[in-house]
Structure 1
Amino acid sequence: MKRVTLLYGLLLCCLQTAFAQVHPGNLTIDEQSDIDSFAYTSIDGDLIIQEKSAGAIVELNELLTLTSINGNLRIIANGAVSNLDGFSNLTDIGSGSITISNNSSLNNINGLSGITTITERLVIEDNNVLDNLDGLSNIAILDGFEGFSLRVKRNPNLSNGCGIIPILTYDPSYVPVYPSINSNGTYTSSVEDIIAHCNTCNTYEGNLILTSQTQVDTFNYCEITGNLTIQENVTGGITDLSSFATLKTLGGGLYIKSNTSITNLDAFNNLKAVNGSLELSKNAVLANIDGLSNIETIRGNLVISINKKITSLSAFNTLTTLSGNLNLLANEGLTDLDGFVNLKQIEGFLEIKGHRNMRSFTGLSNLNTIGKDLRIIGNDFSNLDGLIKLKEVKDNIELTNNFKLSDIHVFANILSIKELRIKNNNLSNFSGFSGLKDVRAIVLNNCDITNLNDLSNLTSLANRLVLYNNKNLENISGISNAIGKNIIQLEIGGNPNLVSLSGVENLEVINSFVSIFNNQKLKDLDALSNINKITKNLKIQDNSGLENACGIVQLLENETAVGGTTTITTNGVNTSAVETIIAFCDTNRVFNGNITIRTQEDVDTFKYAKIIGNLTIQESSAAAIRNLDGLTSLTNVSGDILIKNNVALSTLDGLTSLNTVEGEFVLDTNNTITELGYFRYLRSIGGKLSVINNQSLKNIDGFSSLRGVYGNIIIRNNKKLTNIKWTKLNHFPF
């Protein structure tokens, strides 16, 4: 019995569902929830869609199940509905009418394209933004009462009525009697206007160049297979472009240039795509370009250049595809960049140049990819906020002569570019580029930065490093992680406060040239000491404060190290000639990196005054190091000193020229050392001082000149050490 009851219940449910697909009688929908729960395929009566309150209905997509209405379809007074795509499967309205009225956001009715016959009336009234009737183009028969069959009124934005041409031309005797068409947009306010506008369609094969008003007035094409160029041949020769209202298809580019009397482009409002480039240049009084506002695709470049009166680019807010470059040049009427809000990708470069009146950069707000360069040159805005979604620039970024530009945070998502060029802006830091990982070249000219620390996340820079005329630049160590063994070009000049080249120590080969010039406070070239090959020229010139050029002595002593010319002149006392540098550096050489001394031969052949790294003295075998006399040239170690496990050393006399140890000083398990020697020049140690396990050490008086140790002091397990006379350091615990 239970099984029978269950089967009966299931059968009843299925029957109810099947019959529920047809709605009996009239149906009124007044809120979105009615739309969302709609499940009918047919309505046996009228369908009325009219919101009960503002915004109560926003879209009709859930009506796609509906295929027929045996009554009237009325879509009335809906403020948020923008299209009728939900009716895309509707093919039959039986014996009813269609009324579409007072829908303030409705811009197209393409969803009605499945309907072919209306037996009563068709009314399209008071839809403020509706611009075409293309969705009615499949209706060829309209059988209504005389005087009421067709009403198209008060649709102010309606510019294309071609969708009702099949109705108007179905029966010639029908045209002057039944339709009531008026108070719409251009070309849609009378039957005659619509027929004239829609039925005259000729195609021009090839490129068309128009140079006079007479030629423009005779234009009667809806399609050009090539380019269209409008360029007057005499001043004031072209004044009115209204004849282009018929143009719908352009197979090539559109070039409007060097015209003195054209004020607007309203006639091009039927153009949706330019299958080439679009150029507006040198049009003296062109102010209104809103006629281009229906263009969605440009399959070439977009150039807007030297148009003094254009004040807005909002006409391009519908543009979604740009296959070439976007070039905005010297349009002095532009005070902001407020267009291109739907453009997500530019396949070519973006250049914005010469807009001294532009104060705001709010456009391009959805742009995320630039296929080539980004060039911002000679503008007066202070930020680039419109580029906030930019994630990729595939070639170079150039910021030049934007004297008020102080904020570049929009580049935070850019990880890699080919070249970064920055010149003459108002940037005090490069924090906007702190996310950069990879760049091939950096060119900085006349920037207000003091260092390159904001570029410390860079891991690769293999092409050029050029630093010119950066008056506040003091050091470049921030790019040390990006500098490898090779670079093509190194140019550093006109940086009056630069004191060091630290940051480029890894360089070994320069595949073009090196030029270091006019850096008045630069003291040394130590950071260049690992370079062993320059394929072209070497220039060290006009660095008046340069005291030590030993960082390049290895290049000067090797005749084949520099492939081109070597120019060294007008630097400091010991750095203004090749011969002088070689002579001076005989005892003042620099080594970049760590040095480990393991044998007496290592000691005897040592020739450096400075080590930019660590020094380790640890014999390779018992008694392999007997003394340190060969180290007397060494004055500076930027890292640590470790002297450990040497069995034949009795003193550290060879190191007593030291004046700087920036790291630790460790003396560990050297069992034959009895005394240190006198480190008369050593005033401080930058890290810890550790003297441990030296069984023969009797005193450490050699450190008596020390005034500071900036780390722990550890002295222990030195069995014969009985007295420490360091009155200057008695405030340090040990």
Structure 2
Amino acid sequence: MKKIYTLFAALVWSAGLYSQGCVGSFTLTTQTQVDAFACTSTTGNLIIESAAIDPILNLDGLAGLTHVGGSLIIRDNALLTDFDGLNMLQTIGGNLLFEANPFLLHLDDFLSIIAVGGNLTIVDNPLLIDVNGLINLSNFDGNLSIQRNDILQNIDGLLSLNGLIGAVTIADNPLLSDILGLFGITQLTGALNIRFLPLITDLTGLDNITSVGGSVLIQQLATLDNLDALAGLTTIGGGLTIRNNNALLDATALGALTSLGGGLTFLNNLNLANNAIDLSGLTGPLNGDLQIINNDAMINIDFLSGITAVNGNLVIRNNNLIFNIDGITNITDISGGLEITGNPNLLDCTGSCTAINNMGVVGALIVSGNAGCPDAPTLEAVCLVLPIELAYFRGEAQDDRIVLSWLTLTESNNSGFEIQRSENGRDYKTIHWAEGLGTSTSSQYYSYTDTEVEKGINYFYRLYQLDFDGTGTYSNWIAVQLPVAQVQVEEFFPNPAHSTTACYINSPSDDIVNIEIIAANGVVQRQDQQYITAGRQMIELDCSGLAAGFYLVRITLNNISFNTKLSISNPN
């Protein structure tokens, strides 16, 4: 049939005649063809794609066109600046595509368009400023894609879109300042992709969307600081990925989400803290990968506590501040692998023990680069079930000492307990032995007072329970600290320094430390900012490149400044 349409069109052109309602599809590549076009409607597609010879300069010859039964494709027209001639066009049965029209400035000639039966695609139009000409388009339920339009500033012309449509992709439009034009949309049957929009500070325009049939991707929005516009989103049919949004501070709006059909990924969101994420509505199994990667502001993953199984891989990688993964304690089964790697402050990996002890990890167990679980064998040993029923293991700071206590409900072949202590959560030493009861069905209370402790240091304790046959298992660790009454800054070491130096800071609370290295002439040579947790913690300074001499180091936290001298000497 297509060949017949093409032949029919060729014959009409050759005769210079057209009927008003034209049957078939047409491709216009020259200005001569455009000028000869006399159709008021077509049953098939209309493609306007300029050739090198006799290129299309204007579309005036299309002035009577009101309907295209198939798709309208306008692409690769190097000399077109507008679509004057299409201002009578009202309805398109198929897709509407604007692609690679290098001098297209606007779509104002499409003000009569009220319906598009297929997809709407606006891509690679480098001088397009807005889409205001589509303001009357209200009958549309296809996919919407607006990508790589270099100076597009807004999409307000889409405000008449309403209700349910297909997928939405808004990407790579560097000057787009908002997506308000999507405000009337309430449901998507496909995916939602919002990515590479450096000027978007929020997602206003998505406020009325309650469900997305496909996946949701929020990626590389350099100035996005919240997801508040997603507060009404309850259902995602695919996965949810939040990645590379370095200014993002608040994801609490996700608390309304109750159904997620795919995986969940938080990747490279450097300032998104764990307490700024709310996934309390998500409970039960996750049907895809669960990935928490390169999120430097997270200290735990408690927001995952409602998830009970992962039908994919579970990856916790390169999160610099995470110190426990208790948020995955309720996950009993992982159909893929479990990876816990490169988390330098992760002291407690026992949140993964539920799945490990349940033999619920089907794939590989990969563990490395974590403070408290440096490798898979160590983690598996920690996860072994104790041959005692331990009701609790506690530690309490009392004046200048730490009192440890634990209660067993039953004991079996229990020789006793080594009490082990560490100052870094990795290297433990035995500080006391407590005799066990052997085998007992009665509760037994134990305690030990540790007097060899200093204020401000975070001490880690664990029990190593030993059977009479010499086998042993570890309890979970606990951390206890004698509180510091006020901030204390210790001397730098080494001093004189060459390339680096360090000092310990005792702080009664978590804080941001501002550091300045000031030369003798009063000029600030170097500035740095570091995050510290309550207690005694070491900070390091980079001195490389500083000239030899004496410097003042000013350390400010809690609105208090501390000054200390630092000598820089050239290396031998």
TM-score by length of 1: 0.51
Judged with a 3 Å threshold, the aligned counterparts in structure 2 of structure 1 residues 386 and 508 are, in CA distance, closer, same or farther, namely closer
Judged with a 3 Å threshold, the aligned counterparts in structure 2 of structure 1 residues 368 and 611 are, in CA distance, closer, same or farther, namely farther
Judged with a 3 Å threshold, the aligned counterparts in structure 2 of structure 1 residues 239 and 607 are, in CA distance, closer, same or farther, namely same
Q: Which residue of 1 aligns with 2:428?
A: none
Deviation at 1:322, TM superposition (A): 2.0
Q: Which residue of 2 aligns with 1:332?
A: 150
Q: Deviations over 1:636-674 (max 9, x none)?
A: 9xxxxxxxxxxxxxxx95389xxxxxxxxxxxxx8xx9x
Deviation at 1:255, TM superposition (A): 0.2
Q: Does structure 2 retain, via aligned residues, the 8 Å contact 1:609–1:634?
A: no
Q: Out of 206, 212, 218, which is 1:393 matched to?
A: 212
Q: Which residue of 1 aligns with 2:417?
A: 632
Q: Out of 313, 323, 329, which is 1:489 matched to?
A: 313
Structure number with greater Rg is: 1
- Could you list the structure 1 runs, at least 4 aligned residues long, displaced by more than 6 angstroms after superposition: 607-612, 625-628, 633-636
Residue identity matched to 2:252: S
Q: Does structure 2 retain, via aligned residues, the 8 Å contact 1:253–1:278?
A: yes
Q: Which residue of 2 aligns with 1:181?
A: none
Q: Out of 225, 243, 260, which is 1:423 matched to?
A: 243
Q: Does structure 2 retain, via aligned residues, the 8 Å contact 1:321–1:345?
A: no
Q: Which residue of 1 aligns with 2:559?
A: none
Residue identity matched to 2:368: Q
Q: Out of 222, 239, 263, which is 1:403 matched to?
A: 222
Q: Which residue of 1 aligns with 2:273?
A: 450
**Cα separation, 2, equivalents of 1:633 and 1:487:** 39
Q: Does structure 2 retain, via aligned residues, the 8 Å contact 1:348–1:372?
A: yes
Q: Secondary structure at the match of 1:449?
A: coil
Q: Does structure 1 retain, via aligned residues, the 8 Å contact 2:210–2:235?
A: no
Q: Does structure 2 retain, via aligned residues, the 8 Å contact 1:499–1:523?
A: yes
Judged with a 3 Å threshold, the aligned counterparts in structure 2 of structure 1 residues 436 and 611 are, in CA distance, closer, same or farther, namely farther
Judged with a 3 Å threshold, the aligned counterparts in structure 2 of structure 1 residues 626 and 352 are, in CA distance, closer, same or farther, namely closer
Q: Deviations over 1:288-347 (max 9, x none)?
A: 312212212111110000112221212222111223210001112211221211211353
Residue identity matched to 2:339: S
Q: Where do 5+ consecutive residues of structure 1 fail to align?
A: 1-198, 550-570, 592-602, 619-624, 637-651, 657-669, 684-705, 709-734
Q: Does structure 1 retain, via aligned residues, the 8 Å contact 2:227–2:253?
A: yes
Deviation at 1:678, TM superposition (A): 5.0
Q: Which residue of 1 aligns with 2:525?
A: none
Q: Deviations over 1:426-449 (max 9, x none)?
A: 211202212112223211111121
Q: Which residue of 2 aligns with 1:537?
A: 364
**Cα separation, 2, equivalents of 1:365 and 1:239:** 36
**Cα separation, 1, equivalents of 2:24 and 2:320:** 61
Is 1:467 the counterpart of 2:467? The answer is no
Deviation at 1:632, TM superposition (A): 3.2
**Cα separation, 1, equivalents of 2:61 and 2:116:** 22
Deviation at 1:676, TM superposition (A): 5.5
Q: Does structure 2 retain, via aligned residues, the 8 Å contact 1:326–1:346?
A: no
Q: Does structure 1 retain, via aligned residues, the 8 Å contact 2:393–2:407?
A: no
Residue identity matched to 1:441: G
Deviation at 1:239, TM superposition (A): 0.5
Deviation at 1:202, TM superposition (A): 2.4
**Cα separation, 1, equivalents of 2:254 and 2:190:** 18
Judged with a 3 Å threshold, the aligned counterparts in structure 2 of structure 1 residues 381 and 251 are, in CA distance, closer, same or farther, namely same
The correspondence of residues 193-272 of structure 1 with structure 2, limited to 5 A, is 201-234=19-52, 237-272=55-90
Q: How many residues align?
A: 404
Q: Which residue of 2 aligns with 1:597?
A: none
Q: Which residue of 2 aligns with 1:438?
A: 259
**Cα separation, 1, equivalents of 2:354 and 2:379:** 17
Q: Out of 502, 505, 509, which is 2:326 matched to?
A: 502
Judged with a 3 Å threshold, the aligned counterparts in structure 2 of structure 1 residues 334 and 627 are, in CA distance, closer, same or farther, namely closer
**Cα separation, 2, equivalents of 1:446 and 1:235:** 50
Overall identity of the aligned pairs, in %: 24
Q: Deviations over 1:659-718 (max 9, x none)?
A: xxxxxxxxxxx8xx9x956534599xxxxxxxxxxxxxxxxxxxxxx999xxxxxxxxxx
Residue identity matched to 1:632: F
Which one has the bigger helix percentage? 1
Q: Which residue of 1 aligns with 2:170?
A: 352
Deviation at 1:252, TM superposition (A): 0.3
Q: Where do 5+ consecutive residues of structure 2 fail to align?
A: 1-16, 395-405, 422-433, 454-479, 483-572
Is 1:679 the counterpart of 2:448? The answer is yes
The correspondence of residues 621-700 of structure 1 with structure 2, limited to 5 A, is 629=414, 632=417, 654=436, 678-680=447-449
**Cα separation, 2, equivalents of 1:265 and 1:352:** 23
Q: Out of 477, 489, 493, which is 2:302 matched to?
A: 477
Q: Which residue of 1 aligns with 2:388?
A: 606
**Cα separation, 2, equivalents of 1:634 and 1:610:** 14
The correspondence of residues 25-40 of structure 1 with structure 2, limited to 5 A, is none
Residue identity matched to 1:242: D
Q: Secondary structure at the match of 1:473?
A: coil
Is 1:288 the counterpart of 2:106? The answer is yes
Q: Which residue of 2 aligns with 1:111?
A: none
Judged with a 3 Å threshold, the aligned counterparts in structure 2 of structure 1 residues 707 and 220 are, in CA distance, closer, same or farther, namely closer
Q: Secondary structure at the match of 1:466?
A: strand
Residue identity matched to 1:508: T
Q: Does structure 2 retain, via aligned residues, the 8 Å contact 1:351–1:375?
A: yes
Which one has the bigger strand percentage? 2
Structure number with higher relative contact order (C-alpha < 8 Å, ≥ 6 residues apart): 2
Residue identity matched to 2:231: A
Q: Does structure 1 retain, via aligned residues, the 8 Å contact 2:127–2:149?
A: yes
Judged with a 3 Å threshold, the aligned counterparts in structure 2 of structure 1 residues 381 and 632 are, in CA distance, closer, same or farther, namely same
**Cα separation, 1, equivalents of 2:182 and 2:481:** 61
Residue identity matched to 1:514: L
**Cα separation, 1, equivalents of 2:103 and 2:445:** 88
Judged with a 3 Å threshold, the aligned counterparts in structure 2 of structure 1 residues 611 and 268 are, in CA distance, closer, same or farther, namely farther
Q: Secondary structure at the match of 1:304?
A: strand
Residue identity matched to 1:606: I
Judged with a 3 Å threshold, the aligned counterparts in structure 2 of structure 1 residues 676 and 271 are, in CA distance, closer, same or farther, namely closer
TM-score by length of 2: 0.64
